């Protein structure tokens, strides 16, 4: 039996462990992929911390996978051997529920999420459903492309929820998703105001380098009120903070899968048709649109790379905000 190196998650409170696992076999409609790079995401932290409480166990995390096709499983013929593909968080849907039927496959009743219900990409190999894989723009290296697959895709879905008419956009939490979306927003002529943890001048300078018109502490007011706010930090009180500086008819979009509680606030803050909404997962349409748009902007990803065995360290650095931009695990097969 051939084996591979993988970082294994065995339960909340336990550190990821480097393990030798059997190389998985592609099932019906699946492909075996050799993984080259896999981005690290806040969702991984929510799984490790037990806030997302129903992972497959033991589990290989990682849902921003860049790999090449090694072997097609039965019935799989969409991609050629050796072709480079991306695998996102939405690993599969049932295709039959009412949400899938009306173009909301991101809300599928029976979804499969990569690196949560099935093994993901912090490993030398993985298998993926070919229908949910994407060709990646050639302009990006493997490491540069990885953050496009969740930070980019779900960031883009959140950005679309801001509406085309939004001229002033606030972004709360300036990490992987924000640095990508700020570039898209500037490309589309919007004013971008970036908010970070109080005193995080490194992130504020980073936001300005990505084209933000202003950057400050989340406790500060922006230079003008916002037509829309995107909240990428998992901090519920930011919803209320953002709502207070949002214009009439504006929207506050929560981009994360988990957030601390939102405190009570006066109805007056919501009055005048302000909206609070969340963004869940992604659709294949989001992927196609965003992966076509990214090289046109062109979006440049700022990446800190870690080797596979330092995946746990990368997660801890993400938690404490020790790098700007995105973290990506690079997998070099021995
Ligand atoms: Zn469905
Ligand atoms: Zn993610």
Closest ligand to Cα 281? 2
Mark out the alpha helices in the chain (DSSP H runs): 42-48, 98-101, 142-145, 151-161, 176-187, 201-209, 237-244, 284-293, 311-320
| Amino acid 239: pLDDT | 98
What pLDDT score does 333 carry? 67
Ligand 1 centre to CA of 272 (Å) is: 35
pTM for this one? 0.95
3-state secondary structure of 281: coil
pLDDT digits (tens, 9 = 90+) for 190-205: 999 999 999 999 999 9
The answer to whether residues 301 and 324 touch, using CB atoms and an 8 Å cutoff, is no
Q: Which residue has 């746990």 as its token pair? A: 312
Mean pLDDT value of segment 144-162? 97
Ligand 2 centroid vs 212 CA: distance in angstroms?
23
Residue 334 has pLDDT above 60, yes or no: no
Which ligand has the shortest distance to the CA of 283?
1
Instruction: Tell me the CA–centroid distance for residue 43 and ligand 2, in Å.
Output: 5
CA 203 to chain centre: 18
The ligand with the least distance to the CA atom of 39 is 2
HSE-up of residue 153 (Cα within 13 Å, Cβ side): 30
114 CA to centre of ligand 2 in angstroms: 10
pLDDT at 332 over 90: no
């Amino acid at each position: 039996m051939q084996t591979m190196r993988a970082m294994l998650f065995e339960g909340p409170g336990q550190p990821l462990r480097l393990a030798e696992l059997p190389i998985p076999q592609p099932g019906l409609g699946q492909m075996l992929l050799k993984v080259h790079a896999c981005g690290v995401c806040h969702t991984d932290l929510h799984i490790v911390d037990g806030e997302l409480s129903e992972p497959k166990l033991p589990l290989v995390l990682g849902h921003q996978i860049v790999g090449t096709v090694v072997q097609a499983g039965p019935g799989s013929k969409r991609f050629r051997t050796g072709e480079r593909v991306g695998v996102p968080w939405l690993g599969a849907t049932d295709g039959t529920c009412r949400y899938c039927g009306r173009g909301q496959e991101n809300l599928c009743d029976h979804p499969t999420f990569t690196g949560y219900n099935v093994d993901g990409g912090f490993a030398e190999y993985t298998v993926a459903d070919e229908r949910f894989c994407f060709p990646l723009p050639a302009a990006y290296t493997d490491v540069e492309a990885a953050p496009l697959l969740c930070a980019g895709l779900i960031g883009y879905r959140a950005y679309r929820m801001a509406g085309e008419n939004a001229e002033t956009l606030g972004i709360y939490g300036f990490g992987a998703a924000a640095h990508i979306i700020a570039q898209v927003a500037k490309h589309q002529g919007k004013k971008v105001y970036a908010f970070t943890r109080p005193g995080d001048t490194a992130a504020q300078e980073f936001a300005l380098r990505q084209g933000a018109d202003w950057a400050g502490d989340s406790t500060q007011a922006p230079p003008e009120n916002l037509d829309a706010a995107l909240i990428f930090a998992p901090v519920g009180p930011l919803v209320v903070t953002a709502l207070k500086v949002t214009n009439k008819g504006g929207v506050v979009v929560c981009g994360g899968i988990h957030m601390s509680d939102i405190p009570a606030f006066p109805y007056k803050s919501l009055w005048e048709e302000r909206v609070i909404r969340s963004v869940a997962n992604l659709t294949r349409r989001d992927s196609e649109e965003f992966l076509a748009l990214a090289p046109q902007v062109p979006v440049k990803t700022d990446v800190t790379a870690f080797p596979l065995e330092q995946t746990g360290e990368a997660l801890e650095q993400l938690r404490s905000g020790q790098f700007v931009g995105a973290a990506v695990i690079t997998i070099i097969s021995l």
